Chain A
């Protein structure tokens, strides 16, 4: 039995005994019987071999295709894409009751049209704005989201929507652009943008649930701030102010429980996720980015007011869900760090330092999360922290070694490095989960 099955069985046994469907000694007999069976290993030696084999075949296939890409006739590339599209669609149609394949294929299908548009763009050497392909992808994927009704596919759709509307508004040349000569001139386009946000919020609330809806609300508030800064007389000037506003909103939404009717657990999930995402974005600043501008602006005062509200909200928030070593005060400081790092962006030319700090803080944040999750016997949070830690390591490896990957052997070395990293992370994860289990039993 794997851990999830054990947890499920334990919950069912308690329920059945409570409902008097089985007696307590029968439940105990079942526990003993299942406990005597050898536990299935998540990552067995055989599984590792299969993984290495699959990875090698995958890398080999990618290399063969990419090195011979130009030799593959365009029509074959296009046919290949249409076949992949049909395969994913058919798979989704046939996996309606499957809790893993259905949602996974739904997410892939939402994103596949964008890949198709990119392929068509390559085949026909098309240039143009980034907004149109994203907007077309949104429209093509809309029926998939509503017919499939998978929460993860709807979340992916919402992500593409946020990407689309920000690109459309900020990129010169798109029909909803607010930059350059094509600046948003008519108020009806602003109304269209708000209606689109409302529709997306409705869709996300219906199909993806409150956590994704809350994140979409945050994106909407940042969007409105961007609109105000670009379109009205509201003056922002310094790009770092956007980050301060987003950081303050992250803190404010920790107390969204009463306003949005979310459970404390959900709010903690969203707060954790938003903080991790924010730090991950800031971690890219070590490349050096050109953030700057004047500070004596209305935008700064607005950000300052939001920041005060955010600090007050965080100070009043219930930290029991996330507190680990050091208690609630340390947890509060950790959750305020994205906002503090954003504020550093306003203080001159320290962007690279902010990037390095964000990398360090994200590692500490994940380790702290694992520790607090052990105390609370929260396996889900352990897995989330391990995932973010793995993502950060993968990103930095690609940052520094990605450009060196000009040969197949380099790909293979990197593949083995990833395998070793995955193995190490999984060992660590299992160790922490065992601690969680022991804590739960105690």
Chain B
């Protein structure tokens, strides 16, 4: 009897993980890709694996919001070429209370991202970049240059990290 219920529990857990993966994959399939300028720092965590903490300089526009949620308008800022490939770079231009946003439609040049207001900063849920043991040495050897996060923005306002992109050459003024 308990064996049957244990197997049902297993099925429920598998459904949970598969459904979660489905939601993430669906969100990425219908999202717009762009770069965000970042400056990574690299603490190590034995429990979570290797990851970098990401800090963003262009994701906290001026203005103030009441409450714990905010909608942040991201728009195309410039193009950069890294390793022969040209990417759009986006930045934040405005933040308001979510209820004040009229048209939330997403385009290839801009969209609204949801954030949580934590103290004085905005939390988009893109603060970490996990990397493997093999990639650790490569990332640790980086000293200068420009760092970008390859991010996706979904129609539901969810920002996600896809990869870390860097250019060893300092940007030309």
Residue A193 lies at the interface, judged by CB distance under 8 Å to chain B: no
CA distance A120 to B117 in the complex (A): 25
**Which residues of B, 111-157, contact A by the 8 Å Cβ criterion?**
116-119, 123, 125-135
The answer for the CA separation of A126 and B130 in the assembled complex, in Å, is 9
Q: Pick the contact of B9 from A67, A70, A94, A143 — CB < 8 Å?
A: A143
B29 within 8 A of A: no
A69 with B132: CB separation less than 8 A: yes
B6 near A89: Cβ-Cβ < 8 Å:
yes
Q: Which residues of B contact A148 (CB under 8 A)?
A: 2, 6
Q: Do A120 and B68 touch (CB < 8 A)?
A: no
Interface residues of A in 69-86 (CB under 8 A from B): 69-71, 78, 81-82, 85-86
Interface core residue of A78, A116, A122 (most chain B CB under 10 Å): A122
Complex: A67 Cα to B48 Cα, angstroms: 16
> Are B128 and A125 in touch, CB under 8 angstroms?
yes
* Min C-beta distance of A387 to chain B, whole Å: 21
Question: Chain A residue with minimal CB distance to B161?
Answer: A125
Interface residues of A in 348-403 (CB under 8 A from B): 402
**A128 contacts partner chain B, Cβ-Cβ < 8 Å:** yes
Question: Is B104 interfacial (CB-CB < 8 Å)?
Answer: no
Once the chains are docked, how many angstroms separate the CA of A89 from the CA of B117? Answer: 40
- In Å, the complex CA distance between A238 and B125 comes to 32
In the complex, A113 has a CB within 8 A of chain B: yes
The CA-CA distance from A94 to B3 in the complex, in Å, is: 7
Contact in complex: B17, A120 (CB < 8 Å): yes
Q: Which residues of A lie under 8 Å from residue B123 when comparing CB positions?
A: 173
Q: Which of B46, B130, B132 contacts A121 (CB 8 A)?
A: B130
A67 surroundings in chain B (CB, below 8 A): 132-134
Contact indicator B68/A181 (Cβ below 8 Å): yes
| A93–B130 CB distance below 8 A | no
Q: Write out the residue numbers on chain A whose beta carbons fall within 8 Å of the beta carbon of B161.
A: 125, 127
Tell me the bound Cα distance from A86 to B15 in angstroms: 12
A172 at the interface (CB under 8 A from B): yes
Q: Is the CB of A89 within 8 A of B132?
A: no
Q: Verify A93–B6 contact, CB threshold 8 A.
A: yes
Contact of B119 among A71, A126, A128, A172 (CB under 8 A): A172
List A169-225 residues whose CB lies under 8 Å from chain B: 172-173, 180-182
List B contacts of A86 (CB < 8 A).
Answer: 10, 14
Q: Are B160 and A124 closer than 8 Å at their CB atoms? A: yes
* Cα-based distance from A86 to B7 in the complex (angstroms): 9
For B16, the chain A residues whose CB sits under 8 A away are 140
Hey, which chain A residues are within 8 Å of B14, CB to CB? 82, 85-86
Decide if A113 touches B13 in the complex (CB within 8 Å). Answer: yes
Q: Please name all residues of chain B whose beta carbon is closer than 8 Å to the beta carbon of A180 when the two chains form the complex.
A: 118-119
Encoded as 1 (CB less than 8 Å from any A CB) or 0, chain B from 48 to 85 comes to 11000000000000000000100000000000000000
Residue of B at shortest CB range from A125?
A: B161
Contacts of A49 in B (CB 8 A): none
Known: A113-B13, A116-B17, A172-B118. A122 touches B49 (CB 8 A): yes
CB-CB under 8 A from B162, the residues of chain A are 125
Please give, as numbers and ranges, the residues of chain A lying within 8 Å of B117 by CB-CB distance: 181
Chain A residues, CB < 8 A from B47: 118
| Least CB separation from A94: chain B residue | B3
Pick the residue among A82, A93, A128 that contacts B125 (CB under 8 A): A128
- A39-73 interface (Cβ within 8 A of B): 66-71
Is residue B20 contacting chain A, with contact meaning CB distance below 8 A? yes
What is the chain B residue whose CB lies nearest that of A177?
Answer: B118
Check if B7 sits within 8 Å of A93, measured CB to CB: yes
Q: Contact at B48–A118, with CB atoms within 8 Å?
A: yes
Residue among A113, A121, A124 with the highest chain B CB neighbour number at 10 A? A124
Interface contact A70-B132, CB-CB below 8 Å: yes
Which listed residue, A69, A90, A144, touches B133 by the CB 8 Å rule? A69
A96 to B125, CA, bound (A): 42
Residues of chain A within 8 A (CB-CB) of B130 are 121-122, 125
Tell me how far the C-beta of A129 lies from the nearest C-beta in chain B, rounded to whole angstroms: 9
Q: Which residues of A are found within 8 Å of B127, using beta-carbon distances?
A: 127
Q: Are A182 and B68 in contact (CB under 8 A)?
A: yes
- A251 located at the interface, meaning its Cβ lies under 8 Å from any Cβ of chain B in the complex: no
Instruction: Say whether, besides A86-B14, A118-B49, A140-B16, A147 and B119 are in contact (CB < 8 Å).
Output: no
Query: Which of B47, B116, B133 has most A Cβ within 10 Å?
Result: B133
- Docked pose: A111 CA to B159 CA in angstroms: 29
Flag if A70 contacts B131 (CB, 8 Å): yes
- For A402, list chain B residues within 8 Å (CB): 46
Instruction: Name the one of A89, A96, A113 contacting B7, with C-beta atoms under 8 angstroms.
Output: A89
Residue of B nearest to A122 (CB): B130
Contacting pair A78 B17 (CB below 8 A): yes
Contacts A113-B13, A140-B16 given; does A70 touch B5 at CB 8 Å = no
The reply to whether the CB of B21 lies closer than 8 angstroms to some CB of chain A is yes
Task: Provide the residues of chain A in CB contact with B46, threshold 8 Å.
Answer: 402
Contact with B along A137-155 (1 / 0, CB 8 A): 0001001100111000000
Some 9 contacts from A to B, beta carbons below 8 A apart, are: A85-B13, A116-B13, A120-B17, A125-B162, A140-B16, A144-B6, A147-B5, A148-B2, A181-B117
What are the 5 A-B residue pairs with the smallest beta carbon separation, nearest first? A125-B161, A89-B10, A69-B132, A70-B132, A93-B3
Known pairs A96-B3, A144-B9 / 10 extra A-B pairs, C-beta < 8 Å:
A86-B14, A89-B6, A93-B3, A122-B49, A124-B160, A127-B125, A140-B16, A144-B6, A173-B123, A182-B118
Contacts from B to A (Cβ < 8 Å): 2-3, 5-7, 9-10, 12-14, 16-18, 20-21, 24, 46-49, 68, 116-119, 123, 125-135, 160-162
Question: B-contacting residues of A (Cβ < 8 Å)?
Answer: 66-71, 78, 81-82, 85-86, 89-90, 92-94, 96, 113, 116, 118, 120-128, 140, 143-144, 147-149, 172-173, 180-182, 402
